[in-house]
Structure 1
């Protein structure tokens, strides 16, 4: 299992996309093994590869890691994007968990019984609970924590771009966040990742939803 990082997930964003973003900005090469059938998923289960019977699964440094947050924190720690001390680290984690809470709403959106109502809820929470926090944190500083790039910055860029895909214009009241976006997308690795043909995944479509429901044997929309 040594060598190149291997990602096991669907050919879509979901809970793996943040991991792709982080590896990309670090310029860490990775291969992807896509789940396309229930038999593939059951094989991973039978092999003992899925600690809690869930993906994402990431093979790295001779380990098989599951659960998105621990995977992100491990990679960030390994490549010095997790703060210089325990206080910076906990601040990065707080920002990161808030962003992942918001992005989780997008991850489940394609499976919702009432997507419009859910999107309205996302917009409200983003405007009232999440974006003001980051606008304040970036009024002056270039990065969220310690004056240098961290995991939280990578997740913030991913999240704000995701918001704008579904809710154009949502960032107009947050000028510091827009400036932050502009700085981040000029980082060469990110600029390449945002181009067609990169390993960045498109917005979920019906085929992606259908594959996940078949692999996990889901028979009805989520509430």
Structure 2
């Protein structure tokens, strides 16, 4: 039994989701930034999802699910917190973790808009995109540019060292600019942070073609997701 437990701890994490960004992409980014190799088992049909539900792998009947260290973790924030804690991307004390959580929750609010954009009905896309542009440029980006980076003058959001909040912010900068080119142009500190994080060897590797980073969810990806979840 002990040997099996050690083997489970030594395996690569296995990510269970469909072959698209969705709620798993932030997990992919964080594992990549931590330099952790992972495997993916893609859901392709409703039956694939049903099998995970029926064998008890999904506590709340939902994905994403990550097999890691002998556990089957669900709930995106719980997964991210575990990875960040394990790989020293979650601050040095309880105060830093509180700031990392606060910054990450703000990013999650904006990310929710970006995440659902590909799935918005055509007649509602223009209004949805306008909302993303407005929230990013006028609420969220200024908060991190002026309220955090400019106010403390450090290279990273918390404790002057890389945390999961930095990785999440940089991921979202890329995603927003896919929808709104030039969205970051008036935020020099955010651009500098993006460059800094993107040049880290682990992140640089993840940004290269052929990595496990997923492209923007196009119509084909949306159709594939709907075959599983709708």
TM-score by length of 1: 0.95
Q: Does 1:133 align with 2:146?
A: no
* 2-structure distance, mates of 1:172, 1:28: 32
Equivalent residue for 1:122? 132
Superposed structure 1 runs of 4+ greater than 6 Å apart: none
**3-state SS of the aligned residue for 1:8?**
strand
Q: Does 1:211 align with 2:224?
A: yes
Structure 1's unaligned 5+ residue stretches are 219-223
- Structure (1 or 2) with the greater helix fraction: 2
**Aligned pair partner of 1:152 in 162, 165, 172:** 165
**3-state SS of the aligned residue for 1:129?**
helix
Query: What does 1:105-120 correspond to in 2, within 5 Å?
Result: 105-113=113-121, 114-120=124-130
Query: What does 1:56-205 correspond to in 2, within 5 Å?
Result: 56-113=64-121, 114-136=124-146, 137-139=148-150, 140-205=153-218
Deviation string 1:174-208 (CA, Å, 9 cap, x unpaired) is 11111111111111111111111111000001121
* 1-structure distance, mates of 2:40, 2:185: 36
Question: In 2, are the aligned partners of 1:138 and 1:180 still within 8 Å (CA)?
Answer: no
* 2-structure distance, mates of 1:155, 1:166: 17
Equivalent residue for 1:29? 37
Question: In 2, are the aligned partners of 1:17 and 1:201 still within 8 Å (CA)?
Answer: yes
What is the aligned length?
217
* 2-structure distance, mates of 1:43, 1:182: 42
* 1-structure distance, mates of 2:114, 2:220: 17
* 2-structure distance, mates of 1:29, 1:180: 24
Query: What does 1:44-59 correspond to in 2, within 5 Å?
Result: 44-59=52-67
* 2-structure distance, mates of 1:206, 1:129: 29
Shift of 1:10: 0.8
* 2-structure distance, mates of 1:116, 1:191: 33
Deviation string 1:51-104 (CA, Å, 9 cap, x unpaired) is 111110000010000011110001101111111111100100000111111111
Equivalent residue for 1:221? none
**C-alpha RMSD of matched pairs (Å):** 0.9
* 1-structure distance, mates of 2:95, 2:32: 26
**3-state SS of the aligned residue for 2:63?**
coil
